[in-house]
A and B are shown apart, each in its own frame.
Chain A
Amino acid sequence: AQTVTQSQPEMSVQEAETVTLSCTYDTSESNYYLFWYKQPPSRQMILVIRQEAYKQQNATENRFSVNFQKAAKSFSLKISDSQLGDTAMYFCAFMKHGYGGATNKLIFGTGTLLAVQP
């Protein structure tokens, strides 16, 4: 069975600074996807970034980038130039690769609550 671990329950960062959120996972699969979701106080789940395990290049979306270390089973999220709107709970999630709906199941970590201070 796959597991996802986020060891930082809470983090704080000053506006405009850079912060890194950690995520490790355990799987025996060789092909999979990793995600970071953001949940602001509105409770809406928003996809931040996605990484395909077969791609060596780290994914980037504007101020958000990941450091994907497949051998170490590590998938950290870096937020550059932090903004007040980045304040949210961040969840790391794993999905097994395959075809057919049974592989669309997301396994989530317990989340990291990020507070961006003015």
Chain B
Amino acid sequence: NAGVTQTPKFQVLKTGQSMTLQCAQDMNHEYMSWYRQDPGMGLRLIHYSVGAGITDQGEVPNGYNVSRSTTEDFPLRLLSAAPSQTSVYFCASSYSGTGGLDTQYFGPGTRLTVL
């Protein structure tokens, strides 16, 4: 098992550019989510999905889009990058429907810089 994988590890964008952060898991987890980590603010939930075809907003969804066409993949799209989106992005996955009994597995993170 590769667990949760994220690509790329690092990315530099210019303001206004678009890009997709990739996240994949091979554990057949229903639940997947995206967090951003900013200095002094911990991790904050951007979007999450409870299964293929189902997504919802988290705490800080503005400027980001997601879709979930397969169980394995949960990409995060920045349509028009802004400097405020400079952050480290983490993808996480777990089984769903067990109310927290299952561990959430995190990917290694993507460090994004928007100039």
Which of A's residues lie within 8 Å of B, judged by CB?
4, 9, 32-33, 42-45, 47, 50, 52, 91, 95-111
Contacts and interface: CB of A to CB of B under 8 A. Distances in A.
Interface of B: 30-31, 33, 35, 40-45, 48-51, 54, 56, 58, 88, 90, 92, 94, 96-100, 103-104, 106, 108-109
B42 A109 contact: yes
A110 B44 CA distance: 10
Contact of A104 (B54, B96, B109): B96
A34 to B, nearest CB: 10
Contact of A106 (B45, B88, B98): B45
Contacts, number: 75
25 contacts: A4-B42, A47-B103, A47-B104, A52-B100, A91-B42, A97-B99, A99-B97, A101-B30, A102-B48, A102-B50, A102-B56, A103-B100, A104-B48, A104-B96, A104-B104, A105-B33, A105-B45, A106-B92, A106-B104, A107-B45, A108-B44, A109-B42, A110-B40, A110-B41, A110-B42
